């Protein structure tokens, strides 16, 4: 697994879900701790669309791994 730092995320374009979803809350939390404002390029209605856009290299998305 590759570690990503906040400085790696500052200038990247993000694909996100609406506020209230865990993936969005995770990004907002990381941005707060990393002291940056995420550049959101798309807000999508479904996780499937978010994953499909990332697979097509449209942007990146953050998700938490649940164990």
Question: Which tens digits make up the pLDDT trace of 2-51?
Answer: 777 777 888 899 999 998 888 898 889 889 988 999 999 999 999 899 99
**DSSP annotation of 60:** B
Q: Please check whether residue 18 lies inside any domain of the structure.
A: yes
Q: How many separate domains does the chain show? A: 1
Which residues on neighbouring strands pair with residue 13, listed in sequence order? 39
Asked if residues 49 and 23 have their Cβ atoms less than 8 Å apart, the reply is no
Q: Please check whether residue 29 lies inside any domain of the structure.
A: yes
pLDDT for res 67 = 65
Query: Does 34 or 65 have the greater pLDDT score?
Result: 34
Q: Please check whether residue 41 lies inside any domain of the structure.
A: yes
Q: Please check whether residue 61 lies inside any domain of the structure.
A: no
Cα 61 from chain centre: 3
Query: Does 6 or 67 have the greater pLDDT score?
Result: 6
Q: Please check whether residue 67 lies inside any domain of the structure.
A: no
Q: Please check whether residue 23 lies inside any domain of the structure.
A: yes
pLDDT for res 1 = 61
Domain span at 22: 6-55
Q: Please check whether residue 25 lies inside any domain of the structure.
A: yes
């Amino acid at each position: 697994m590759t570690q990503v730092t906040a400085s790696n995320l500052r200038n990247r374009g993000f694909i996100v879900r609406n506020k209230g979803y865990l993936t969005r809350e995770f990004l907002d939390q990381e941005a707060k701790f990393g002291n940056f404002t995420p550049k959101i390029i798309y807000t999508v209605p479904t996780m499937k669309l978010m994953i499909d856009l990332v697979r097509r290299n449209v942007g990146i998305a953050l998700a938490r791994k649940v164990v």
